[in-house]
Structure 1
Amino acid sequence: MMQVRIGIKQEYLAAVAHSLAKILADEFVLYTKTRKAHWCVTGPDFHSKHLFFEDQYKQLEEIVDEVAERIRALGHFPPATLKEYLALTHLTEQSREKNNSAGHIRELLADHESILVHLRENINDYVTAFHDAGSSDYITGLMETHEKMAWMLRAHLE
């Protein structure tokens, strides 16, 4: 594989790529759980929540692709199997809530908030420890997207 020469040491590129791989795993698990909510939601608000979850999983589908492409831009290959995602994620596949809209929303909201905490923990390290302002900027934007998605979920519970 051709070496990436973008002004960041190779070991730093590897460290950021590994960190982004964990984010990718989280995003893929959340995407899958949001798809499940879209498919499995029940109740009198089925139609509106079915469409709402569809909008959310489409946003997450784009995020998954963008994170994987960011890893490739740094000269590394992203994880791309379910086994790898499950080994890297800090989320759980297990559903603890009811299959109604409120149950799905509570669970998805908790995952978005967990991802937000993880993203915030990495923003400064990308710049200070690894000299990668681009990846720091990228996950700042990603954080803002998750904040908005979490707000949309939270609004359904208030």
Structure 2
Amino acid sequence: MSVIDIKTPSDLDSNKVGSVADALNHVLADTFALYLKTKNFHWHVSGPHFRDYHLLFEDQASEIFSITDEVAERVRKIGKATLHSIGEIFQLQSIEDNDKEFVKPEEMLKELASDNRKLVTSLREAKILADKAGDNASSAMIDNWTDQAERRAWFLFETGRAA
């Protein structure tokens, strides 16, 4: 996806924020992919820890979904276009879908922990670009999203230890 300049007034250099917008659009695609996978596992978890995992996945899915609008609106605020469709999400996502009919609960925990860590890596890369562009607001927002993803990965890891 090429980043389209929508000419939003800003003191930021349009060329520099293009790389930030591109990185944020990748983050957004991964956020949607992670959201849907987390909801998938929420819907399909089973076993003796059903209630705990079901509620954990629901809480995490809600948190993940809540940042999608923030990410997309940040891209728009810096004067660029964001995602338009599921097709674009598919093109940009690096977090892989899980279409298996059955996934063991322990595997769900491990996979989601790993995916949240992948999101952290993407967020750190976006932060570097935001800092280079002098985009303090994106940088600060990325810090919050990184902390949330690290917390989710930690909860999933610790929950999986007992499984």
Q: How high is the TM-score relative to the length of structure 2?
A: 0.88
One-letter identity of the residue aligned with 1:26: D
Residue 152 of structure 2 is aligned to residue 137 of structure 1: no
Matches of 1:40 and 1:102 in 2, distance apart? 13
C-alpha separation between the residues in 2 aligned to 1:122 and 1:23?
A: 8
Q: 1:81-124 CA deviation, whole Å, 9 max, x = no partner? A: 11101111111113579523211111111100111112122322
Scaled by the length of structure 1, the TM-score of the pair is 0.90
Q: Does 1:65 align with 2:73?
A: no
RMSD (CA atoms): 1.9
**2:159 aligned residue:** 156
Taking the aligned partners of 1:2 and 1:59, their CA distance within structure 2 comes to 29
Does the 8 Å CA contact 2:31/2:68 hold for their aligned counterparts? yes
* 1:66-145 alignment, distance < 5 Å: 66-94=70-98, 99-128=103-132, 130-145=133-148
SS at match of 1:156: helix
Indicate the residue corresponding to 1:34 in structure 2. Answer: 38
1:80: how far off?
3.0
Task: Indicate the residue corresponding to 1:56 in structure 2.
Answer: 60
**Unmatched 5+ stretches in structure 2:** none
Aligned residues: 157
Change (3 A) 1:156 1:2: closer
Q: What is the alpha-carbon distance in structure 1 between the residues aligned to residue 18 and residue 121 of structure 2? A: 22
Question: Which has the larger displacement, 115-124 or 96-105?
Answer: 96-105
Q: Distance in 2 between matches of 1:5 and 1:112?
A: 34
Report if the CA contact (8 A) 2:42-2:54 is conserved: yes
Q: Output the CA distance in 2 between the equivalents of 1:116 and 1:71.
A: 18
8 A Cα contact 1:42 1:99, kept in partner: no
> Quick check: 2:18–2:80 contact (8 Å CA) kept in 1?
yes
Per the alignment, in what secondary structure is the counterpart of residue 94 of structure 2? coil
Indicate conservation of the 8 Å contact 1:97/1:107, yes or no.
no
